[in-house]
Structure 1
């Protein structure tokens, strides 16, 4: 099986996964830029066939020279219908042919409309161009705060976070910079009933940045990398500086 032959045009995530839709299914792999950032991949963990795929929960992981152990978070939801078993013996295929023989999994999508939330090639090229540039830091009082705090951008990528955020999520700041979107980590990709994905237009972080107004009292269920659940209240504080992309601070307060 080849990663990019046939099917529709490729879509991309900010965490450097490509997605090729083909009817109700979508094949997923690591982009050429993604494999370059990871360096040599020497182990791949993939899910079982028929395993459910949901936002916020990893579907697999990579071990690489550049980032060590990195969890892979799904670009769409559904069920695993194929895995690239060749990667178990030859994980280097991800480096050698990331768009072809180095594909990861195929997912039967529960909602193909989720593809609309992914980036097209032009948008992804802009992400690559901006990668490695962190526009700003956490304010000093948040950098050392006991409250989990994050800095996010307009694409819902995590730019940096404090130690309390690392403890809450169970991932290092470096892993979060190259992993899931903040909406997946915080559980705010789902509506109030915890069922339907929230679109970018209604994401509180995006709304805060666009309207330049803080948003408070958003309640989420955070599921960390080890599966521990924590109900939190979130506050979004927009940051707008001349010549800089819009960003927002996200401050979480665990509920009793």
Structure 2
């Protein structure tokens, strides 16, 4: 791992694969870190001929935090008061663009998951010259009324900060059980390992709230997506309770020529049993560029 200064933010990143191969940028989601991309999944992408770049978004992991902005008033934001919003999805997309430029990457295939899909969509809209192809996984357009979490998943988003490591790990495992793939449940030990690794590397619940505020306050990307000409594939679980399937369907409908892959039994995660299918879809879409 290494660090660069981009867009006014210190961004921690990692690269996997041959720098001579086409670049592929992985963008993770709400409160997530670069280690949330499964190592085997990243290695499969590198093995298919990509130079993979993954990073921590601002306010997560080891990248710059924005604690000086305080904790956003989420109920107020939902009610229309944007005064406590510190930044938007467009700022997160600007970080991604800055990272690519600092690394000397002029164009990249981009893959985003959840909030990372939103960032990837915005990156394509704001910096189309940087994006060769886009894969939007378990994400949505920002259109009001679609991709809204089911009540049990919304409750996971709003749980209070944990008092210690044990509570944080237990909460993360419980959340993973709520939003994860019902057809491909992850082993308990693996969920605990992931949760512990994330806590030890960087537990930043206030940063997650600021990222959530950015999601809620950012405008609908649908009008811009209608003008996209790059190849786009939308990948979504049929059983996703956090961003239900209508969010993926809205994304695919907005982008001319986009393809939609709906995976039965998949929720809001990346089960090992589905890596091959998802990687195949990413590679096939990249090949359309």
Which has the bigger relative contact order, CA under 8 A and spacing at least 6?
2
Task: Please identify which structure carries the higher helix content.
Answer: 2
Fold agreement, TM-score > 0.5: no
Which TM-score band (shorter chain)?
under 0.3
TM-score, structure 1 length as denominator?
0.27
